[in-house]
Amino acid sequence: MNLEDKLKSAIVDGIEKLYNQKPDEKRINFQKTSKDFEGDVTIVVFPFTGISKKSPEQTAKDIGTYLKENLTEVENFNVVKGFLNLVISSSFWLDFFNTASATEHFGFSPANTGKTMMVEYASPNTNKPLHLGHIRNILLGYSVAEILKANGHKVLKVQVINDRGIHICKSMLAWQKWGNGETPETSGLKGDKLVGKYYVEFDKHYKSEIAELVANGLTKEEAEKQAPSIVEAQAMLLKWEAKDPEVYALWEMMNSWVYAGFDVTYNSLGVNFDKLYYESQTWLRGKDEVLKGLDQSIFYRKEGQSVWVDLTKEGLDEKVLLRSDGTAVYITQDIGTAILRYNDFPDLSGIVYTVATEQDYHFKVLFLILQKLGFEWAKNCYHLSYGMVDLPSGKMKSREGTVVDADDLMEEMITTAKEISLEKGKGEDNADAEELYRMIGMAALKYFILKVDPKKKMLFNPQESIDINGHTGPFIQYTHARIKSLLRRADSHSATAVSSTLSILPKEKELIKLIHQFSAVLKEAGEAYSPALLANYIYELAKEYNQFYHDFPVLKEEDEAKKNFRLQLTVLTGRIIKDSLRLLGIQAPEKM
């Protein structure tokens, strides 16, 4: 039982014995004690004055006295208005420290929760390369999956590849018309970038055709539907759905180029997947489910034979599920994919969809449709909605000039890390140094994105993200490297338990208290699907350790018991930093 659970249990017992009434556990609120007062844990007692029939101050004194007399962990207390500040004994903190030090991955839960979670992330279209928005998506999904693993759950990392539809046909048609047989090998371009080039080419021709039709008297809406390029692309989609051999062969070839390009980007990001789903393999399943729902009057046909669902009673709108020509829309494919996943993994406890906030409405509709179709598990589906990422104006424009290419951004971050290191006279020009620049650049990118609450929009500032003295990944990496350097210089240190009677100073106690929070932070990060909670915690831990390191020259300590304690405290801090960085997909260098 952790400290808060022990305190909560004792508070419930104490209030019941003091006032003959059992309190609601949910009203027991713990806070960090203000630095202006002595104490380690603060309890708000205002919710219990209705039971005690006494003033907040007297209620706090009653509860504090009971806890001091009945709980060995409580050494003393003081009362400030309606706040009870508890002083936790040094022996408790040292006993905790010994337990944590003896645990290989302190804070991690045993892998026996019985829950199997699926986390979907990336989900690219095969008509263009990955960009900055994908990076936030991928880093969030990967980190959430790793954090859920650390909480003891079995986790499946998946992506659904959007490999069919009108947008894919646009690239195919453009390559067919203007590509002159160009390939990744002949062009020197990554496959995803080559295909993206033709998606842009299609759009250029399509806009030109629209402008010409509008000039000839059509409305913009009419022109968008009648432009020759879009008509040809729609015809190609119908041929693909009919598995026309020529169109299908073109589709397979161009998608293979894209997959090879994606793999390079994923490898650079250091992420992986356990299973891949392809919309080309699930869209018919979704269509079949919609037709079943139509037979059961869950859905209905409109004039023109399109199929719809009415969600107005749930506060949403009507939604088309099949077009009048029988082709599936995006949500139809998602219906099929969700059902397929639960068929593949019947023990799933839930699916986490990592998708931008623009799709909030889409997922509300999807989950409601699945429930209407009778799938109870739909209630366990969760949309991890995240805000868009912007960059300072003028920085790192992509080759197309509209979005920031993921590969270009990573390359720029690594180059920036190298330039800064060389400017400060700390850089070298060898293979080991190049690997370190890569680790620092990627840490800067990943940490800066992950430290922000997923729901918030964010501004990614490359220069700020790499500042070794700022709230950054490189600062935390530097702290880990400093720890490893200190341990290399130490003659030796004992792994034996520290005596619970050892006298510890306030700064040492503060570091142990912060380490004590790690389990709760990791649990909360898993429950909230928020790597930001963990990212900000390890920044605070790194800051606290650096202050400790500054105040106490560990290796100069003459008292061997004290020196050994501080070395073990250093080891434990380093392990937590390294484990936490790994959960964020960040490497912890031994030297910097």
- Does residue 486 contact residue 570 with C-beta atoms inside 8 Å? yes
Locus of tokens 């980007």: 265
pLDDT for position 205: 96
Q: Half-sphere exposure of 457 toward its Cβ, with a 13 Å CA cutoff?
A: 4
Lowest mean pLDDT among 59-63, 89-93, 139-143, 464-468: 464-468
542 exposure class (CB count in 10 Å sphere: 0-12, 13-18, 19+): buried
Q: For 11-20, 359-368, 419-428, which range has the lowest pLDDT when averaged over its residues?
A: 419-428
Half-sphere exposure of 524 (CA within 13 A, CB side): 11
**Are 302 and 185 within 8 A, CB to CB?**
no
Question: Which of 165, 350, 312, 366 lies closest to 251, judged by CA?
Answer: 165
- DSSP for 511-535, please give it: HHHHHHTHHHHHHHHHHHT-HHHHH
Sort strands 41-44 and 307-310 into parallel, antiparallel or unpaired: unpaired
With 0-12 CB in 10 A as exposed, 13-18 as middle and 19+ as buried, what is 557?
middle
Taking 3-state DSSP, the helix, strand and coil percentages for the chain, each rounded to the nearest 5, stand at 60, 10, 30
Task: Check residue 267 and give its pLDDT.
Answer: 97
- pLDDT for residue 391 is more than 90: no
Q: Considering the chain, what percentage of its residues have pLDDT values greater than 70?
A: 98
Instruction: Please tell me the distance from the alpha carbon of residue 236 to that of residue 203, in angstroms, as a whole number.
Output: 16
What is the rounded distance in angstroms from the CA atom of residue 589 to the CA atom of residue 582?
A: 11
| E-state strands within 244-347 | 275-278, 300-301, 307-310, 318-322
| Phi, then psi, of 43 in degrees rounded to 5 | -115, 130
Could you read off the pLDDT of 420-437 as tens digits, one per residue?
888 877 767 777 899 999
Q: Determine which of 249-258, 496-505, 565-574 has the lowest per-residue pLDDT on average.
A: 496-505
The CA–CA distances, whole Å, from 292 to 279, 391, 463 equal 20, 46, 55
User: Among 513, 534, 527, which Cα is nearest to 583's?
Assistant: 534
Query: Which pairs with CB-CB distance under 8 Å and at least 24 residues apart come from 482-486?
Result: 482/546, 482/549, 483/545, 483/570, 483/571, 483/573, 483/574, 483/577, 484/574, 484/590, 484/591, 485/591, 486/549, 486/554, 486/555, 486/570
Contacts of residue 382, defined as CB under 8 A and 6 or more positions apart, other chains included, come to 350, 351, 352, 353, 529
- List, for residues 176-185, the tens digit of each pLDDT value: 999 999 999 9
Residue 376 pLDDT more than 60? yes
pLDDT of residue 304: 85
Q: Which two tokens stand for residue 577?
A: 């930093």
Q: According to the model, what pLDDT value does residue 281 have?
A: 86
pLDDT (0 to 100) of residue 393: 65
Q: How many CA atoms lie within 13 A of 14 on its CB side?
A: 22
Residue 427's pLDDT is 66
**CATH code for the domain defined by 3-88:** 3.30.1360.70
Q: Give the pLDDT of residue 425.
A: 72
Rounded to 5 degrees, what angle do the CA atoms 282, 287, 288 make?
A: 100
Question: Cα separation of 141 and 476, whole Å?
Answer: 22
Q: How confident is the model at residue 397 (pLDDT cuts 50, 70, 90)?
A: very low
Cβ neighbours, 10 Å, residue 512? 19
Alpha carbon distance 205, 230 (integer Å):
10
Task: Compute the CA torsion angle 338, 342, 345, 346 (nearest 10 deg).
Answer: 170
CATH class of 418-583: mainly alpha
Structure confidence by residue, pLDDT tens digits, 281-292: 887 888 899 999
Name the burial class of residue 403, with classes exposed (0-12), middle (13-18) and buried (19+) by CB atoms within 10 angstroms of its CB: middle
pLDDT in tens, 43-66: 999 999 999 999 999 999 999 999
Give me the pLDDT at residue 245, please: 97
Q: Is the pLDDT of residue 401 over 60?
A: no
Q: Would the CATH topology of 3-88 be identical to that of 418-583?
A: no
- Interacting residues of 38 by C-beta distance below 8 A, sequence separation 6+: 76, 78, 85, 87
Backbone angles phi, psi at 104, to 5 degrees: -60, -50
> Each residue of 229-254: pLDDT tens digit?
999 999 999 999 899 999 999 999 99
Could you read off the pLDDT of 195-209 as tens digits, one per residue?
A: 999 999 999 999 999
CA–CA gap between residue 112 and residue 230 (Å, rounded): 53
Rounded Cα gap, residues 390 and 531, in angstroms = 19
Quote the CA–CA distance of 83 and 44 in Å, as a whole number: 5
| Three-state helix/strand/coil letters over 136-192 | HHHHHHHHHHHHHHHCCCEEEEEEEEECCCHHHHHHHHHHHHHCCCCCHHHHCCCHH
**Higher per-residue confidence, 216 vs 422:** 216
Which residues contact residue 159 at a Cβ distance below 8 angstroms, ignoring those fewer than 6 apart? 120, 121, 122, 123, 124, 273, 276, 277
Q: What pLDDT does 1 receive?
A: 63
Between 253-267, 387-401, 409-423, the lowest mean confidence (pLDDT) is in: 387-401
Q: Determine contact, residues 588/575, Cβ cutoff 8 Å.
A: no
The pLDDT score that the predictor gives to residue 402 is 60
Cβ-contact 440, 481 below 8 angstroms: no
How high is the mean pLDDT of the chain?
A: 93
Do 460 and 450 meet the contact criterion of CB atoms below 8 Å apart?
Answer: no
Q: What's the N-to-C CA distance of the chain in angstroms?
A: 39
Does 582 have pLDDT greater than 70? yes
CB 465 within 8 A of CB 414: no
Domain boundaries defined on the chain: 3-88, 164-261, 418-583
Q: What is the pLDDT of residues 473-499, one digit of tens each?
A: 999 999 999 999 999 999 777 777 899
Tens of pLDDT, residue by residue over 336-363, are 999 999 999 999 999 999 999 999 999 9
Distance of alpha carbon 147 from alpha carbon 290, whole angstroms: 36
List the 275-278 sheet strands across, edge first.
275-278, 154-161, 116-120, 348-356, 381-386
pLDDT, tens digit (0-9, with 9 covering 90-100), for 541-567: 999 999 999 999 899 888 989 999 999
Let me know: does 177 contact 296? Beta carbons within 8 Å: no
As given in the structure block, the two tokens for residue 119 are: 């986390």
Q: How far apart are CA 128 and CA 262, in angstroms?
A: 10
Quote the tokens at residue 359: 């799709």
Distance (Å, rounded) from C-alpha 435 to C-alpha 591? 12
**Model confidence over 106-146: pLDDT tens digits?**
999 988 888 999 999 999 999 999 999 999 999 999 999 99
Give the separation between CA 194 and CA 192, rounded to whole angstroms. 5
